[in-house]
Structure 1
Amino acid sequence: MLKIKDLNLYYGVIHALKNINLEVNEGEIVTLIGSNGAGKTSTLRAISGLNQIKSGEISFEGKTISKLPSYKMPHLGISHVPEGRRIFANLTVMENLELGAYIRKDKANISKDYEKVFQKFPRLKERAKQMAGTLSGGEQQMLAMGRALMINPKILLLDEPSMGLAPLVVKNIFEIIKEINQAGTTVLLIEQNARMALSIADRAYVIETGNIVKEGNAKELLHSDDIKKAYLGE
């Protein structure tokens, strides 16, 4: 479904991504784990067209998207929940969700999808008329995910959904990620909480200083001694 081949990305003279190869098959949860500054967010931003790549190829459903501008990605079914949530703080919860559906023409289904989002995130329904900037961190993360789902995506790119959240909220967010996947949306998950990410993913890639150093079945990597030492604090 999504394929990255020999991807190189620079920030000025800094070589941030070095010949990255990564694949996400339809229906999977794939996670990319690594420490801060390893290149996780850069990978997602390259897929979304937010960062221009130097060389290599990104393809989605067999079509090359490496040179496409970021605003075209939602039209293809690619939805990105950025690091730090990036909700519209001065708009209400409902207005944020409406903006998520801005490219859609199927008006009849949009209202059904609002209800689906509210079923997944009941707290958002309670706060539909509240300004998004007044929500708690966990509620803002739910809103960012709900807004991304309103595009009705084929693939959801999630960047650090657990960042800064209490453990109980994190557990809830990861349960919802599993539900979203089981309902038919493919997920590429970037996450510093390696244990949580590996516990729900099908496959995983490990990135260090811009290089993919390991890949494989997520459950096997969860029990790998190297991964335990480097990322699980064991």
Structure 2
Amino acid sequence: MKGMRQMLKVKNLNVYYGGIHALKNVNLEINQGEIVTLIGANGAGKTSTLRAISGLIPYKSGIIQFKGKALKGVPAYKLVYEGMGHVPEGRKIFANLTVMENLELGAYSRKDKHKVKEEYASIFEKFPRLEERKLQLAGTLSGGEQQMLAIGRALMSKPELLLLDEPSMGLAPIIVKGIFEIIKEINQGGTTILLVEQNANMALSIAHRAYVLETGNIVTSGAAKDLMNNEDIKKAYLGE
């Protein structure tokens, strides 16, 4: 990824929840065009890292730069306008709205309203199931379809950087495989991705680089394929 511009830089990030020091001097960077994954056990601080980056929780100290701009104090909704999308853990779709209404809400930040129709077409191409169910209430969709909708809704804002939090959670392996194919496709279309994922095997299989988080500290990082072959990582996270 040489010569690529830096999309995101996190430097010495510290996050506290009350008296708990949840993230301790976390450093990571993502270059344009990469899929970078953050793996680690439950409670390691993966979700906190994403939420701090997208402005959903405050951080005590450190620097987060998105496309060279410091984000301290920028409200979460403004980051959508800057080109950041976040698919939260647990999907957080609007259950009492239709699939189409959820997607429309994803496009609220778009200035080029005339192009939004093309976006629907591209999302329905990626997720044909959503097109079949576009008038259905989102709450009536299966878990896999809700995940597709959450990703589709985030893509409606045409993000340059997409944060994905546990996209495989609670889904059957066959559905997970499909979702990960789509994540790869989104990346090949030019979107940079930061992926937080419990399923380390799946995450490392599609990522370019990875960071491993343990109790709020980044303990190792490197090329995803190197980490896949690292004995310690295999034992700790890859079920070997």
Same-fold status (TM-score > 0.5) = yes
Q: Which residue of the partner structure matches residue 183 of structure 1?
A: 189
Q: Secondary structure at the match of 1:91?
A: coil
Q: Which residue of the partner structure matches residue 229 of structure 1?
A: 235
User: Once the 2 structures are TM-superposed, how far is the Cα of residue 11 of structure 1 from its aligned partner?
Assistant: 0.1
The one-letter code of the counterpart of 2:138 is A
Q: Distance in 2 between matches of 1:150 and 1:69?
A: 20
Q: Distance in 2 between matches of 1:85 and 1:157?
A: 12
User: Once the 2 structures are TM-superposed, how far is the Cα of residue 108 of structure 1 from its aligned partner?
Assistant: 1.6
Q: Secondary structure at the match of 2:195?
A: strand
Per-residue CA deviations over 1:172-203 (Å, capped at 9, x if unaligned) read 00000000000000000000000000000000
Q: Distance in 1 between matches of 2:67 and 2:170?
A: 34
- More off after superposition, 62-71 vs 124-133: 62-71
Q: Which residue of the partner structure matches residue 16 of structure 2?
A: 10
Instruction: Identify the match of residue 152 of structure 2 among 146, 156, 164.
Output: 146
Q: Distance in 2 between matches of 1:107 and 1:197?
A: 34
Paired residues for 1:73-222 under 5 Å: 73-222=79-228
Q: Distance in 1 between matches of 2:126 and 2:43?
A: 32
Q: Which residue of the partner structure matches residue 3 of structure 2?
A: none
Runs of 4+ in 1 over 3 A off after TM superposition: none
Q: Structure 2, unaligned stretches of length 5 or more?
A: 1-6
User: Once the 2 structures are TM-superposed, how far is the Cα of residue 4 of structure 1 from its aligned partner?
Assistant: 0.1
Per-residue CA deviations over 1:111-155 (Å, capped at 9, x if unaligned) read 000000000000000000000000000000000000000000000
Q: Which residue of the partner structure matches residue 59 of structure 1?
A: 65
User: Once the 2 structures are TM-superposed, how far is the Cα of residue 105 of structure 1 from its aligned partner?
Assistant: 1.7
RMSD (CA atoms):
0.4
Paired residues for 1:38-57 under 5 Å: 38-57=44-63
Q: Distance in 2 between matches of 1:61 and 1:161?
A: 25
User: Once the 2 structures are TM-superposed, how far is the Cα of residue 66 of structure 1 from its aligned partner?
Assistant: 2.3
Q: Secondary structure at the match of 1:161?
A: coil
Task: Provide the TM-score with structure 1 as the length reference.
Answer: 0.99
Q: Secondary structure at the match of 2:13?
A: strand
User: Once the 2 structures are TM-superposed, how far is the Cα of residue 103 of structure 1 from its aligned partner?
Assistant: 1.1
Per-residue CA deviations over 1:25-59 (Å, capped at 9, x if unaligned) read 00000000000000000000000100100000000
Q: Secondary structure at the match of 2:24?
A: strand
Q: Secondary structure at the match of 1:102?
A: coil
Q: Distance in 2 between matches of 1:233 and 1:32?
A: 17
The percentage of aligned residue pairs carrying the same residue is 73
Per-residue CA deviations over 1:59-111 (Å, capped at 9, x if unaligned) read 01110012211111101100000000000000000000000000112122100
Q: Secondary structure at the match of 1:5?
A: strand
Q: Secondary structure at the match of 2:164?
A: strand
Q: Secondary structure at the match of 2:15?
A: strand
Q: Distance in 1 between matches of 2:50 and 2:103?
A: 22
The one-letter code of the counterpart of 2:104 is E
Q: Distance in 2 between matches of 1:200 and 1:30?
A: 9
